Amino acid sequence: MPIVEAHILEGYSPTEKSRLTTALTDAIRFVVPAPDEAITVMLHEYPSEAYARGGQHRKPAPALPDPTQIVRAYLAAMEARDLDTAKTTLGVGFQMVFPGTRPMTELSELIDWSKGRYRFVKKTYDGFDALHSGGVAVVYARGTLYGEWMDGTPFEGIRFIDRFEIARDKIQRQDVWNDMAEVRAQ
């Protein structure tokens, strides 16, 4: 039964502490074959006056936003075609790659590219998976697409996976995989 103890400065919200204990539990499960209920995570909080580095008392760093929520906000804005809001979630140098495209850097490029493919498309989400890798948060959104082809014929149940890289609280990259071309060819 793994027991993990983490020492943190006071100042994090209950939601942020819950995210931390969940992330620590997940990290243990990457290596130790224990069920979640067998993993104990304890947070020990200390007032900032009880901590000094270099002789200076320090305040805790603000918690990073949940990368899954950043992705959800972006996807909701895109589906609503609220491009101004969607742009606020994107970092400098943002790139997106969709099936059969070169990297695009502007949301308007995506809108132009999709105009001849379908009248509209929406997503049903089966889940979001987040992890940290190589200095960035990685979020996978997965589910199915539904919408209407250019001739008015409806479609549904087309699988997709979107992979996002988030750094400095902004989406840096989006890669998209889906079965739209295969379904369309039928």
Q: Which of 37, 57, 77 is the last residue of a domain?
A: 57
pLDDT value of residue 52: 87
Largest CA distance in the chain: 70
Is-above-0.75 flag for pTM? yes
Whether residues 94 and 168 share a domain: the answer is yes
What integer pLDDT is reported at residue 77 of this predicted model?
A: 97
> What's the N-to-C CA distance of the chain in angstroms?
52
Query: Binning pLDDT at 50, 70 and 90, where does residue 181 land?
Result: confident
| pLDDT (average), residues 22-28 | 94
Domain that holds residue 27: 3-57
Check whether residue 155 and residue 90 sit in a common domain: yes
31 and 109 fall within a common domain: no
pLDDT at residue 107, as a whole number: 95
- Asked whether residue 62 is assigned to any structural domain, the reply reads no
State residue 185's pLDDT score.
77
Read off the pLDDT of each residue in 142-146 and give the average, rounded to a whole number: 98
